[in-house]
Amino acid sequence: MTKLFPAPNRASRRLRIALFVLAGCLVVSAGPSAHADDRFDKLVQKLRPNRLPDGFASANGRLESEQVEIATKLAGRIAEVLVKEGDEVERGQVVARMDVTDIQAQLRAAEAQERRAVQSKTVAEAVVAQRESEQKLAIQQLGRVETLHEKGFATAEALDQRRSAQNVADAALNAARASLGDAGAAIDAARAEVARIKSVLDDMELKAPRHGRIEYKLAQAGEVLGAGSRVLTLIDLTDVYMTVFVPSSVAARLAYGDDARLILDAIPQYVVPAKVSFVASEAQFTPKAVETKEEREKLMFRVKLTLPSDLLRKYEKEVKTGVRGMAYLRVDRDAKWPDKLQVKLPQ
């Protein structure tokens, strides 16, 4: 036989029992109706789970940080990795070195070429000095022959020979000066090659681009890597944040720089301050175009809550990414933070 009213489950039975008990308390309670209403409100508050005051919203998330990939610029073999996972490094600190035997040989060859260019310039300068002396002599000889020719003591042929000698001296001087210019250019080219190779040597030392903590060690000494291969992953300890997703009704009331509070699951006794540093301009998890109000209420926007830099510097050894927790946002700027969300940090 089909039952029209199925038997209630355990949850519904508990709810009915609670209602009967609540009604019995109200009936048995003596005094004016106002006292009964007051007791009823207090009892409801005890039965109701803790909720945020008006003007606040909450969402869950986890701590994250900017990750920097430390990679090779050029192909080569790793000579040594100087850090391990969990190490804190400073900006500019050498964290790995590549094998530079071949490059050092290239550097020695380039430096030898530079010295050769310098010597060539010294020779060119001496040749220029010689040609200048020869030109000066040719000019003097031409002047004397011109004087003698005017007085009739020198032939026209002798005058032509001295003029030709001067022209040859001028041409030789110009050639010497051109050679000197070539020697100077060769020195510049050699020095540029030396600088280039030194730059390559510098690139073969992998350095931390900022202060942080090594999260992953992706290559070992002796491995041959291509250009752009990752060796280490660095967590930037100066940029730690929690990403949460809130409905459009909350995101629309947030502003950059608004205060927020974080309570991490691992240390629930502390309340960590944060700031709203980013609010997505487009919704997540839903279509970009929605028509009805009900659909618009389902829109979830990504919000980034960044921890203060001075706080990160003070507790950088305790900062760990991936820790989950709750974020509390103040959507009403006039609302005061409740006592349970006042900032509380370890001493």
Report whether pLDDT(134) > 90. Answer: yes
Q: What six digits make up the tokens of 67?
A: 């990750």
pLDDT given at position 287: 53
Mean pLDDT along residues 262-278: 93
pLDDT tens digits, residue range 64-78?
A: 998 899 999 999 999
pLDDT tens digits, residue range 213-247?
A: 999 999 999 999 999 999 999 998 888 999 999 98
pLDDT given at position 305: 95
- Would you say 325 and 274 are in contact if contact means Cβ atoms under 8 Å apart? no
Report whether pLDDT(143) > 60. Answer: yes
Q: Which of 133-147, 204-218, 282-296, 326-340 has the lowest mean pLDDT?
A: 282-296
Would you kindly state where each structural domain of the chain is located, as residue ranges? 56-66+237-341, 67-100+205-230, 101-203
Mean pLDDT along residues 54-63: 92
pLDDT tens digits, residue range 97-122?
A: 999 999 999 999 999 999 999 999 99
Report whether pLDDT(7) > 60. Answer: no
Stated pTM of the model: 0.62
Mean pLDDT of the chain: 84
Report whether pLDDT(34) > 50. Answer: no
pLDDT given at position 313: 85
pLDDT given at position 284: 75
Residue with tokens 């031409």: 142
Share of the chain above pLDDT 90, in %: 62
Q: Which residue has the higher pLDDT, 53 or 214?
A: 214
Q: Quote the CA–CA distance of 122 and 268 in Å, as a whole number.
A: 77
Report whether pLDDT(35) > 60. Answer: no
pLDDT given at position 169: 92
Report whether pLDDT(42) > 80. Answer: no
Report whether pLDDT(289) > 50. Answer: yes
CA 50 remoteness from chain centre: 41
Report whether pLDDT(15) > 70. Answer: no
Sheet with 94-98: strands ordered across: 205-207, 94-98, 76-81, 224-225
Q: Which residue has the higher pLDDT, 4 or 294?
A: 294
Longest dimension (CA), the chain: 156
DSSP 3-state of 137: helix
**What would the CATH number be for the domain defined by 56-66+237-341?**
2.40.30.170
Report whether pLDDT(20) > 50. Answer: no
Q: Where are the alpha helices (DSSP H) in the chain?
A: 10-28, 33-47, 101-151, 156-203, 248-251, 293-297, 309-314
Mean pLDDT along residues 294-306: 80
CATH class assigned to 67-100+205-230: mainly beta
Phi-psi region of 206 (alpha: psi -120 to 50; beta: other; left: phi over 0): beta
Q: What six digits make up the tokens of 19?
A: 């209602």
pLDDT tens digits, residue range 153-209?
A: 889 998 899 999 999 999 999 999 999 999 999 999 999 999 999 999 999 999 999
Report whether pLDDT(11) > 90. Answer: no
